[in-house]
């Protein structure tokens, strides 16, 4: 399965993946999914939002156990983020059949559409629509960089966009959703474990810092006469790093806009975007408040006006404790040989997080030795991937075969 997917959407120069939603590469991944379903005698369907499903047993029976992830990628993404979960789902089913498992509940494998949001700027569109967290009207407004709307892109890919929207009937059939994913950090590498369980997705947000000063000549304006917003911005970047380190959080200024943006001009405006995430709300509030306070002090000192606007915010997602504990118990008995499986938080968003308000969800992580993700350097060792498959099979057996 890994070899089948390897060439799809791969950039020949960077070796990164370009599998944006509703493109040719995405279509090839979808065809592959359908073939995997049909090869195994599973009932294949797409739902009203273009998510793919492969069913073992009666989809309408209720209390289904569902596993899967996504096949799309960020621009120049890695091979594992998403596909590892889908491939592992099919491999886990093969493993359970080889074990002679008897299923007492329906089982489904899914590929959620447009998880990365690389094309339309909003992540997890397929699961958001299904969970009613993105309205049909708002989805119709989404456009890519070329001005193509989401419905136009779906239609061009052969899907009917007229029925997209909340799908509570489908969610009501699901008793548990488990997503396996490559870890996007180094916690498992540091703990020496191949597989871990997710505790929560960290709360995160984006803030825009506008530092306004006075444009002037870089050669003739004396230093003491300057109102240079770049200085306040630079000091704020350092403060963000310091406050994040103190709190055990992360804070990043990764995007900046400068006016007039000339080599020989003192800027009139520096606009920087802060992305910050922490394990809990209080910590995140503390970090962002401290960064803003530092920014104001620096701005005042240099005669700079500062506006801070929160552009987006996603609260903490706690995965259901009962399901998480059940996974821990199952894996402790099988995979861990009596050893506890690490439970870790993550700073990245996932379909499982979106669905967690509607249905019980859980996640398994597979060790990523460098922690690198969203890059061609993303990696997981084959032995660890196989350990992930066995862990997922154990979990599905524990949930769907009793």
Could you say which DSSP state residue 203 is in?
P
**Residue 77 vs 203, nearer CB to Zn ion:** 77
Instruction: Classify residue 343 as exposed, middle or buried by CB count within 10 Å of its CB (0-12, 13-18, 19+).
Output: middle
Does 82 engage in binding with Zn ion (CB under 5 A)?
yes
> Is residue 14 a contact partner of residue 376, using CB atoms and an 8 Å limit?
yes
Least Cβ distance, residue 73 to Zn ion (angstroms): 9
Q: Which of 47, 72, 81, 167 binds Zn ion (CB under 5 A)?
A: 81
Check residue 183 for interaction with Zn ion (CB under 5 A): no
Cβ contacts of 151 within 8 Å, gap of 6 or more: 139, 140, 161, 162, 164
Nearest alpha-carbon partner for 124 in 50, 191, 220, 190: 50
User: Is residue 113 at the binding interface for Zn ion, with CB under 5 A as the rule?
Assistant: no
Would the annotation count 334 as a binding residue? no
Tell me which residue of 71, 72, 84 sits closest to 120, measured CA to CA: 72
Nearer to Zn ion, 82 or 205 (CB): 82
Shortest Å distance, C-beta 117 to Zn ion: 11
- 70 labeled binding residue: yes
Distance (Å, whole) CA 19 – CA 21: 6
3-state SS assignment for residue 29: helix
Is 99 flagged in the annotation as binding? no
| Interaction residues for Zn ion, span 126-145 (CB under 5 A) | none
CA distance 111 to 133: 18
Q: Which residue lies nearest Zn ion, judged by its C-beta?
A: 81
**How many angstroms separate the CA atoms of 279 and 307, rounded?**
26
* 161 vs 349, beta carbon nearer Zn ion: 349
CB of 109 to Zn ion, least distance (A): 16
The set of long-range contacts for 136-142, using a CB threshold of 8 Å and a minimum separation of 24, is 136/164, 136/165, 139/164, 139/165
Q: Which helix (H) or strand (E) holds 94?
A: helix 83-98
CB environment 367-399: b (16+ within 10 A), e (fewer): bbeebebbebebbbeeebbebbbbbbbbbbbbb
Q: With CB under 5 A as the contact rule, which of the stretches 76-84, 90-98, 150-158, 221-229 interacts with Zn ion?
A: 76-84
Please indicate if the annotation marks 49 as binding a ligand: no
Q: Which is nearer to Zn ion, 177 or 298 (CB)?
A: 177
Q: Which is nearer to Zn ion, 378 or 397 (CB)?
A: 378
User: Binding-site residue total for Zn ion (CB under 5 A)?
Assistant: 2
Strand pairing partners for 253? 274
Q: Which is nearer to Zn ion, 353 or 360 (CB)?
A: 353
State the Cα angle at 265 between 259 and 271, rounded to 5°.
25
Binding segment toward Zn ion, per CB under 5 A, in 53-61, 75-83, 117-125, 157-165: 75-83
Q: Nearest approach, Cβ of 115 to Zn ion (angstroms)? A: 6
Instruction: Write out the binding residues for allantoate.
Output: 206, 264, 277
Q: Which residues bind Zn ion (CB under 5 A)?
A: 81-82
Instruction: Write out the binding residues for Zn(2+).
Output: 70, 81, 116, 181, 374
Instruction: Write out the binding residues.
Output: 70, 81, 116, 181, 206, 264, 277, 374
């Amino acid at each position: 399965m890994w070899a089948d997917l390897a060439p799809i959407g791969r950039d020949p120069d960077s070796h990164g993946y370009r599998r944006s939603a509703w493109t040719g590469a995405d279509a090839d991944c979808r065809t592959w999914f359908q073939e995997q379903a049909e090869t195994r005698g599973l009932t294949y369907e797409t739902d009203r939002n273009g998510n793919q499903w492969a069913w073992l047993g009666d989809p309408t029976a209720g209390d289904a156990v569902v596993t899967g992830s996504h096949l799309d990628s960020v621009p120049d993404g890695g091979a594992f983020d998403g596909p590892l979960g889908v491939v592992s789902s099919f491999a886990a089913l093969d493993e359970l059949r080889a074990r002679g498992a008897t299923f007492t509940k329906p089982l489904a494998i899914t590929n959620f559409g447009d998880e990365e949001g690389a094309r339309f700027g909003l992540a997890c569109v397929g699961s958001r629509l299904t969970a009613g967290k993105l309205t049909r009207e708002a989805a119709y407004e989404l456009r890519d960089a070329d001005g193509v709307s989401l419905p136009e892109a779906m239609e061009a890919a052969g899907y009917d966009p007229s029925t997209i929207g909340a799908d509570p009937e489908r969610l009501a059939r699901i008793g548990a959703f488990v997503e396996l994913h490559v870890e996007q950090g180094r916690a498992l590498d540091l703990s020496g474990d191949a597989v871990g369980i997710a505790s929560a997705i960290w709360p995160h947000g984006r803030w825009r810092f506008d530092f306004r000063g006075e444009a002037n000549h870089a050669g003739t304006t004396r230093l003491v006469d300057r109102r240079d917003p770049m200085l306040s911005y630079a000091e704020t970047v350092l403060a963000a790093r310091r406050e994040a380190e103190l709190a055990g959080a992360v804070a990043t200024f990764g995007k900046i806009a400068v006016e007039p943006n000339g080599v020989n001009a003192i800027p009139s405006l520096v606009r920087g975007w802060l992305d910050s995430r922490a394990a809990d709300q209080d910590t995140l509030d503390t970090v962002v408040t401290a960064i803003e306070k530092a920014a104001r002090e620096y701005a005042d000192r240099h005669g700079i006006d500062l506006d801070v606007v929160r552009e987006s915010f996603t609260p903490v997602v706690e995965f259901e404790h009962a399901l998480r504990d059940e996974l821990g118990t199952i894996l402790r008995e099988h995979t861990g040989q009596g050893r506890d499986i690490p439970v870790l938080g993550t700073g990245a968003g996932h379909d499982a997080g979106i669905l967690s308000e509607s249905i019980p969800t859980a996640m398994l992580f597979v060790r990523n030795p460098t922690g690198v993700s969203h890059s061609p350097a993303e990696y997981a060792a084959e032995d660890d991937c196989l350990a992930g498959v066995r862990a997922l099979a154990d979990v599905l057996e524990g949930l769907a075969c009793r």
